[in-house]
């Protein structure tokens, strides 16, 4: 379970990217974070595994406070968080298999990594994972020979070979065409269900978020302005997220106990508007 | 010109200078400096004409180049020594350079380490190889070892500087993705950085070997082994025929080195 409390990030330029965002992700749910460019979506997800250092707040993964860790302990925490990137971020000149196996780097010694000597079990699982993402037979191709969709599948394979407790996904579809985007989103939700892990996705295509997410979080100017089901994401909510419209009392950022009723209200309101 | 422009249109043709006054000042300064330099060196046509006859005499003395068996042996020995020096110096130099390059890459090294790396490179680049060769000859005596030391030393400055710049240009995303898996720093370098710069490492090694071949022919002049020693001996003995033979041999070997270098670098890129 991932629990983020009051996460803040101010860049050295003085730019306040996150102004205290809280979020809980549990079970095997798919949570989509949407918002306009510059809302802090990427910063948020990168602060969770500390590729970007948060300036305040707390991130807990299964009760372990991640923001205090350093060295070996931080690396061990990162092993439990699989990350998938917008630009795939594969090591272009390495083979697909080496890229996938790099997901196990946290578990082998440096010397073994240098000699590409991963445990027999790791290689076997890498083959299984490649099978699962639909890349069987590509293990010896170099990463830069693949198409965009195939590359993102390698990125996903690398993340799931870590056997993570959560998947952090940063704009997985922005570099892909609509067809491939759907296939990638399907694959991600499928993994969430099969491996019973939660998936936290940054995404700017709202229709994909509505279609695949169990829950949607809206960020604007580093603040959470919406949280609810895809059905609850009505015109009012969109207005708040994308145009910064005033937040009416009854549909404001919904929290715990108020969530149920507020969602219902929002759904009805949305239905009325659509009707 | 400018009168046709309204106040709102402030675009002007771009200039490399701050404004047109600065431009003319720069031109005048360059012209004056050129004239002063020429005057300062006292270049006179009489002197050039005088040297011309001496040069013609020297060139005449070089023909025909000498290929007697004894001299050919000397030549081959010198060339082999030069080649061997260049190979050994390149290998040692590259092995020393790679860690220095990583130290001197701003994007991956902590600031203190970065300055140490840059410092090593600057010190290596500060001196000409002949100066290092003179010191090395004093230290380890006349012979190829001194040449290997001088060339290895120079290789570090060249190779580490260019490789460090290449490391600074890598795609940080690839490195970040490896880091995000929980890999330690060395593993991140091995998987996220080394594959990205590997073609450059090979290309630079070949290129530096090519340079080291050329330089190995010169360090012999101060006693650091190789064909340069043979060259200087022949000149000192007024053996201009053999001198020409050596010069032609050096040109041949440098051309072969350059050809091999171009071919291999073409293949890997």
Across the interface, whether the CB atoms of B195 and A158 are under 8 A apart is answered no
Give the global pTM. Answer: 0.79
- Same domain for A108 and A195, yes or no, is no
Q: For chain A, give the percent of residues with pLDDT over 70.
A: 89
**Do the domain assignments include residue A132?**
yes
Count how many pairs of residues, chain A against chain B, have C-beta atoms within 8 Å.
Answer: 82
Other Cβ atoms within 10 Å of A38 Cβ, number = 14
Examine the domain organization and report whether A174 and A76 are in the same domain. Answer: yes
Report, as ranges of residue numbers, the positions in chain B whose pLDDT lies below 70.
1-7, 269
Question: Is A86 within the bounds of a domain?
Answer: no
All residues of chain A having their beta carbon less than 8 Å from the beta carbon of residue B183 are 75, 102, 105-106, 113
- Domain housing A227: 2-80+164-180+188-274
Rg over CA atoms, chain B: 26
Same domain membership, residue A27 and residue A139: no
A85 occurs within a structural domain: no
Both A115 and A238 in one domain: the answer is no
- A8 bridge partner residues: A19, A56
A274 touches chain B (CB under 8 A): no
- The answer to whether A14 and A8 have CB atoms below 8 angstroms apart is no
Best probe of the B interface among A72, A95, A113, A165, by most B CBs < 10 A, is A113
- What total number of domains does chain A contain? 2
pLDDT at A271: 46
A225/chain B closest Cα distance in angstroms: 29
Same domain? For A68 and A202 the reply is yes
Question: Residue B1: its pLDDT value, please?
Answer: 46
| Nearest neighbour of A114 by CB, restricted to B177, B190, B196 | B190
Q: Is the same domain home to A192 and A270?
A: yes
What is the CATH code for B68-268? 1.10.3720.10
Residues A69 and A103 in one domain: no
Give A259's pLDDT tier (boundaries 50, 70, 90).
Answer: very low
Q: According to the 3-state scheme, what is the secondary structure of B22-62?
A: HHHHHHHHHHHHHHHHHHHHCCCHHHHHHHHHHHHHHHHHH
Residue A52 located in a structural domain: yes
Name the residue of chain A whose CA is nearest to B178's CA.
Answer: A102
Confidence of residue A156 (pLDDT cuts 50, 70, 90): very high
Tokens of A74: 């931080």
Q: What is the least distance, in Å, from the CA of A19 to any CA of chain B?
A: 24
Is A78 within 8 Å of B180 when comparing Cβ atoms? yes
Q: Do B195 and A83 touch (CB under 8 A)?
A: no
For residue B228, give Cα distances in angstroms to B82, B214, B236, B238.
8, 10, 12, 15
CATH number at residue A194: 3.40.50.300
| Residues A121-146, mean pLDDT to the nearest whole number | 90
**Domain match, A72 and A101 both:** no
Q: Are residues A124 and A109 in the same domain?
A: yes
Residue A198 lies in a domain: yes
- Pair type for strands A223-228 and A2-10: unpaired
Residues of B within an 8 Å Cβ radius of A? 171, 173-174, 176-184, 186-187, 190-192, 195-196, 198-199
ipTM above 0.85, yes or no: no
- The answer as to whether A89 is a domain residue is no
Q: Is residue A90 part of a domain?
A: no
Which of A128, A163, A198 terminates a domain? The answer is A163
- Are A78 and B182 inside 8 Å of each other by CB? yes
Is A88 part of any domain? no
Are A133 and A243 found together in one domain? Answer: no
Other Cβ atoms closer than 10 A to A156: 25
Which residue in the set A94, A103, A110 is minimally distant from B181, CB to CB? A103
Strand partners, A216: A32, A228
The DSSP H or E segment spanning A167 is strand A166-170
Per domain, the residue ranges of chain B are: 68-268
- Same domain? For A168 and A256 the reply is yes
Same domain? For A20 and A109 the reply is no
């Amino acid at each position: 379970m991932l629990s983020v409390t009051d996460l803040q990030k101010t860049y050295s330029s003085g730019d306040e990217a996150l102004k205290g965002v809280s979020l809980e992700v549990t079970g095997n749910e798919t949570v989509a974070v949407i918002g306009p460019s510059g809302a802090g979506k990427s910063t948020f997800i990168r602060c969770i595994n500390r590729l970007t250092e948060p300036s305040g707040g707390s991130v807990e993964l299964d009760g372990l406070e991640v923001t205090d860790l350093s060295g070996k302990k931080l690396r061990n925490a990162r092993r439990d968080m699989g990350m998938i990137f917008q630009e795939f971020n594969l090591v272009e000149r390495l083979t697909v298999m080496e890229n996938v196996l790099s997901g196990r780097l946290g578990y082998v010694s440096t010397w073994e990594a240098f000699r590409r000597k991963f445990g027999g079990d790791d290689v076997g699982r890498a083959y299984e994972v490649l099978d699962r993402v639909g890349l069987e037979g590509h293990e010896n191709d170099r990463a830069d020979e693949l198409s965009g969709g195939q590359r993102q599948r390698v990125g996903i394979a690398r993340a799931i070979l870590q056997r993570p407790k959560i998947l952090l996904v940063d704009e997985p579809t922005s570099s892909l065409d609509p067809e491939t985007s759907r296939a990638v989103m399907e694959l991600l939700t499928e993994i969430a269900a099969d491996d019973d892990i939660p998936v936290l996705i940054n995404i700017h295509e709202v229709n994909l978020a509505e279609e695949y997410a169990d829950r949607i979080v809206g960020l604007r100017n580093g603040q959470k302005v919406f949280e609810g089901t895809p059905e609850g994401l009505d015109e009012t909510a969109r207005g708040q997220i994308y145009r910064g419209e005033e937040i009416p009392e009854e549909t404001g950022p919904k929290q715990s106990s108020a969530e149920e009723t507020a969602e219902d209200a929002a759904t009805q309101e949305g239905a009325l508007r659509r009707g | 010109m400018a009168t046709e422009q309204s106040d709102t249109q402030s675009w002007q043709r771009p200039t490399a200078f701050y404004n047109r006054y600065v431009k003319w000042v720069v031109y005048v300064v360059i012209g004056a400096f050129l004239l002063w330099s020429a005057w300062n060196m006292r270049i006179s046509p009489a002197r050039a004409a005088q040297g011309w006859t001496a040069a013609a005499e020297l060139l005449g003395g070089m023909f025909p180049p000498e290929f007697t068996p004894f001299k050919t042996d000397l030549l081959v020995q010198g060339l082999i020594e030069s080649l061997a020096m260049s190979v050994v110096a390149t290998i040692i130099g590259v092995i020393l350079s790679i860690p220095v390059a990583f130290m001197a890459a701003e994007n991956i090294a902590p600031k203190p380490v970065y300055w140490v790396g840059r410092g090593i490179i600057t010190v290596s680049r500060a001196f000409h190889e002949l100066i290092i060769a003179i010191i090395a000859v004093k230290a380890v005596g006349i012979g190829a070892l001194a040449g290997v030391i001088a060339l290895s030393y120079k290789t570090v400055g060249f190779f580490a500087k260019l490789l460090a710049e290449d490391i600074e240009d890598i795609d940080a995303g690839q490195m970040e993705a490896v880091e995000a898996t929980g890999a330690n720093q060395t593993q991140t370098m091995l998987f996220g950085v080394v594959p990205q710069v590997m073609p450059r490492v090979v290309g630079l090694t070949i290129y530096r070997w090519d340079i080291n071949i050329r330089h190995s022919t010169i360090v012999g002049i101060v006693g650091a082994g190789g064909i340069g020693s043979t060259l200087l001996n022949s000149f000192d003995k007024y053996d201009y025929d053999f001198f020409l033979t050596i010069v032609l041999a050096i040109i041949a070997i440098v051309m072969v080195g350059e050809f091999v270098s171009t071919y291999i670098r073409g293949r890997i890129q």
